[in-house]
């Protein structure tokens, strides 16, 4: 199943926030987690992720800091803020409501 670009775009913020809600992470790991969670159906590239990260950081939903990877190289990590956690709860409720609406229209066995 190929996910349409508009669905990928619409889901990017809640996915990133949910991943960071589980713990601090860095770009490549976020990309890998999305690929794993989607069973390979969503394959983000750096060029897609980093504009999202900058936008979320500008909105104060996440913040970044420099840390060291296990091999000693500097790596930029991201963490969710309290405002980001509130936004994640709000987005989760909206997605849940949308899913409930679809299920009531199509029937749960088809969604």
Three-state helix/strand/coil letters over 34-72: HHHHCCCCCCCCHHHHHHHHHHHHHCCCEEEEEEECCCC
| Backbone dihedral angles phi then psi of residue 43, each to the nearest 5 degrees | -120, 95
pLDDT for position 46: 84
- What integer best gives the mean pLDDT of the chain? 92
Cross-strand bridge partners of residue 74: 68
Q: Please write the tens of the pLDDT for every residue from 61-80.
A: 999 999 988 888 999 999 99
pTM for the full predicted model:
0.88
- 111 pLDDT band, cuts 50/70/90, is low
Q: What's the CA gap between 61 and 78, in Å, rounded? A: 10
Residues 67 and 44 sit within 8 Å (Cβ to Cβ): no
Q: What's the CA gap between 107 and 39, in Å, rounded? A: 24
CATH (residue range 5-110):
1.10.10.10
Domain coordinates of the chain in residue numbers? 5-110
Which of 70-83 are b and which e, b meaning 16 or more Cβ less than 10 Å from the residue's Cβ?
eeeeebebbebbee
């Amino acid at each position: 199943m190929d996910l349409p670009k508009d669905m990928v775009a619409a889901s990017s913020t809640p996915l990133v926030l949910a991943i960071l809600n589980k713990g601090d992470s860095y770009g490549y790991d976020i990309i890998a987690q999305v690929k794993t969670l989607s069973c390979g159906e969503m394959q983000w590239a750096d060029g897609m992720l980093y504009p999202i990260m900058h936008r979320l950081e500008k909105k104060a939903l996440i913040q970044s800091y420099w840390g060291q990877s296990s091999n000693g190289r500097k790596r930029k990590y991201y963490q969710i803020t309290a405002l980001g956690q509130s936004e994640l709860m709000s987005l989760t409720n909206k997605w849940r409501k949308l899913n409930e609406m679809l299920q009531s229209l199509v029937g749960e066995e088809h969604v």
